[in-house]
Each structure stands twice: as C-alpha cells, then as structure tokens.
Amino acid sequence: MTISHKNILIACIFLAVSCLVPDARAATPEVMVYDSAPPVASRLSPASSNIFVLPGASQTFTVRGTDVNGDLRGVEWYVNGTQQVSRLTLSGGEANDVWSYTFPEAGTYTVEARVFDSLGAYSSPSAQWSVSIQPRSRGMYVDRVNQILSNPDLTVALLEYAKRNAITYLVLYVGGYPLGASMDAFVQLAKSTCGVKEIGFIGGRTADFDAFQSYNSSYVGKADVFNLEYEFWNHTPRDFDQFKTLLQHMRIASAPSSAKVETYIGWPTDAEIVELAGLVDRLLLHCYVRTPSNAYNYAKSRLYALSGGPLNLTIWPIFSAESSSYYADQPFMGDWLVSHSFNEAEAIFMDAYNDDTDARKCEGGVSGFQYYSYDYIRKIIKDKRGVSLSITTDRSCALSTASRY
C-alpha cells in the first residue's frame, strides 16, 4: 500500500504536537489517602495508673478513644502483652469501651487498651494500668472478752462469725481477763479450726506489754500482735512523746516472740504521722463515717501524709459498726452494715482509692480493713442465715469448747 505525501505530513504534525503537549494523565497529581493523626487512648476508669485488686476478683476498665478524623473503629485489650480481645465498639471522634477481667492469682499485671481507627492506625502510647493483685485481710476488735470467753456458747458464736465473714484477725481487749491456760486454748482453737491467722492483745501501759510477752513466753497460743490504744491527740496538752515512748517499749517487749507492733490513729498532725509510721508494723486508720462512699475522702489526707513513710508499713482503715440504736458518742456505719456486707464496704473504699490520681496518694495500697467492734456488730447484725450472733447453731468451730471454758 502506497502512503501519500499528505498522510505522511499529518503523521509528522501529530508527532510534533504530542511531543509538545504533556499527557493529560501525567498532569493529574496522584491522590494519597493517609490518616492525618492516629487516635488517642486515655484511661477513664480507674483513673489512677496503679490499682489494687483482690485475687479472683473481676476489675472493670474503661478507655476513652478520641480521633480528630472522626473514624474510630475499635479497641484491643492486652494483659501482660498478650491480647485478650479485639472489639469493634468505637465510632466517630470520641467513644468509650468498657472491659472486665478476672485476675486469677496474686502478682503484678499490666493492662493495656490500644485504640485503632478505620484505616488501621493505632494509639501510641496505649492506655495502661499497673494492677497489683494482693490478698486483703479483715480484722475485728473484740470487747467484753471476759464475758465471751467465760461462756462457751458466746465463744463459739464469736469464732463462727469470724469464720463465716472471713475475719482473719481478732484483736482483744484483754484487760481484766487472765492471760493463762484458757486464753491459750482459745487462741489455738481460733487459729487451728476457725480461719483466724492472727490474734492481737490491746494495751495502753508498759506493764501491759510486759505481761503480753510474759504470756507469749509461757504458752503455745501466742499473741501475734501487740496493739497500743493511747489517744494522745485527745490529751490536753497533746502527749505525743509518751505515745512514742510506749511504741518504743512495745518494740522491745515484742521482740522475743516476734510479735508485730500495731497502733490506731485518729487525728495526729502530718509530722506526727510520718514519725510514728517508722515505729510500727501496722497502722490502723480511724475512718468513722456513716457510709463507705465517704470513707476514702475522710481518710485520704492522712494517707497522703503516710506516702512518705516506710515502704513496708501496712495500713488498714477502721470502720465502726456503731448504729443509731447502739453507739458510744455517735452512730457510724452500723445502720448501713445492717443491709450491706463487709465486701461491699471495702470495694467502695478501694474503688475510690483506685480512682485517686493525686501524686500524694500512698502507693503502698491498703492491705486490710478493721471493724469496731464485735459488741456493736452482734447487737445489730444478723448473719446471712438470719441467726442471732449471741448463740449459733453451727458448731464446726466448737470442738471440745465446752470442756475448755
């Protein structure tokens, strides 16, 4: 086929023009799809980064995700670096996710929440909690010791109540009761059969603590704790020096039997709290309120003062079971406890503790709670089966109690 001069000319013109005019496709810039900012994860609840939980207890965590692009998608939850669940629960520019986890045993765990968006961008850093899983003790003051230990039925009622309510520490007002064979039998029975791990004796004079050590050196059923009750803050003038002298004497007296030194405090100054914290093994913190929802706020200023104390100091708040029907000076938590449990009271306190983000918070945690006192409790509270606390029908703690007392 012959190509005409005209066709050749047209082809040359086309080639020349195509070289001068850029390809329209090359002139269009490439559109890149990218996320202008990754999402952000924030702790919502518990607010504090360091929390304390009981072994076997379920703890609920809430994370808040925010995204300036408004394309939140979900959350991945991790425990000690291992993913537990991925949830497509978030959307928009701000949303919360709630997740619960049961910690099987004591130890320290790291819980993380990693928020991601619809384009796969992840929050960095993640929201994190350091979770300390530790057993929590429960103690109870026991007054009218002479009356209770002289009556087998009342003795059994006390021990059965302690057993059913996981009370592992009984601190006894032993004034007027002979420290001898009958006390030895009671202590051994409480520890061997009824779940009690510690027995404490309360005193207020140097002679009391010398007598406690004399008893400990003579009997198998020993006092594990020497407890000082001396309200120096109510003295005029304040008698903090005598308080310290008593604690120092207690340390010497308790040493041969390795008994703990313990005291309770009401309203010392911050400086006094720090000083006495170095003299005791366990500090019981007066926390007398009508409902546990007010308890942490009532106690936290003293807990803040204790944050600078020894790291090995054990702190237990004291709740009073004094009620509108039975009280010394005024009613406290007794009316609330009639329809609620010890577990509930303690959980409410610990939730408030875990939500406190103040840098002054005592990071050692609260390892137990103390209740004042059995005399008030047995007057107003019935156990879960509705049995009066004065006499019990469950005698699994009795053994040969009747022959011992």
pLDDT digits (tens, 9 = 90+) for 319-349: 999 999 999 989 999 999 999 999 999 999 9
Burial of 225 (0-12, 13-18, 19+ CB in 10 A): buried
Amino acid type, 26: A
In the chain, what's the furthest Cα-to-Cα distance? 135
pLDDT at 32 over 80: no
Average pLDDT over residues 279-304: 95
* Least confident among 232-236, 359-363, 376-380: 359-363
> Any idea what DSSP says for residue 172?
E
Would you place residue 1 in the very low, low, confident or very high pLDDT band (cuts 50, 70, 90)? very low
pLDDT in the model for residue 293: 97
The pLDDT tens digits of the residues spanning 238-286 come to 999 999 999 999 999 999 999 999 999 999 998 898 888 889 999 999 9
pLDDT (tens digit per residue) in 123-135: 999 999 999 988 8
Q: Are 390 and 154 in contact (CB under 8 A)?
A: yes
pLDDT at 20: 47
H or E stretch at 399: none
For 17, residues 6+ apart whose C-beta sits below 8 A from its C-beta are none
Provide the residue type at 84 as one letter.
Q
Q: Which residues pair with 85 in a beta bridge?
A: 77
**Residues forming a β-bridge with 95:** 65
pLDDT score recorded for residue 311: 59
| Cα Rg, the chain, nearest whole Å | 33
Q: What architecture is domain 137-404? A: Alpha-Beta Barrel (3.20)
Region 158-187 average pLDDT: 95
Measuring CA to CA, which residue among 114, 46, 52, 45 is closest to residue 79?
Answer: 114
CB 67 within 8 A of CB 117: yes
Indicate the domain borders of the chain: 40-133, 137-404
Q: Per DSSP, which regions of 163-216 are E strands?
A: 169-172, 198-203
Predicted confidence (pLDDT) at residue 391 exceeds the cutoff of 50: no
Q: What is the pLDDT of residue 392?
A: 38
Q: Give pLDDT, residue 17.
A: 44
Phi and psi for 273 in degrees, rounded to 5? -60, -45
CATH 2.60.40.10 fits 40-133, yes or no: yes
- The tokens describing 33, both together, are 């799809």
Who's near 248: CB < 8 A, 6+ residues apart? Answer: 279
Please tell me what DSSP assigns to residue 383. Answer: -
> Which phi and psi angles does 390 have, rounded to 5°?
-70, -35
pLDDT exceeds 90 at position 84: yes
Q: Is 48 left (phi over 0), alpha (psi -120 to 50) or beta?
A: beta
Label residue 34 by pLDDT band (50, 70, 90).
low
pLDDT of residue 306: 86
Closest by alpha carbon to 314, among 349, 266, 353, 277? 277
User: Considering the chain, what percentage of its residues have pLDDT values greater than 70?
Assistant: 83
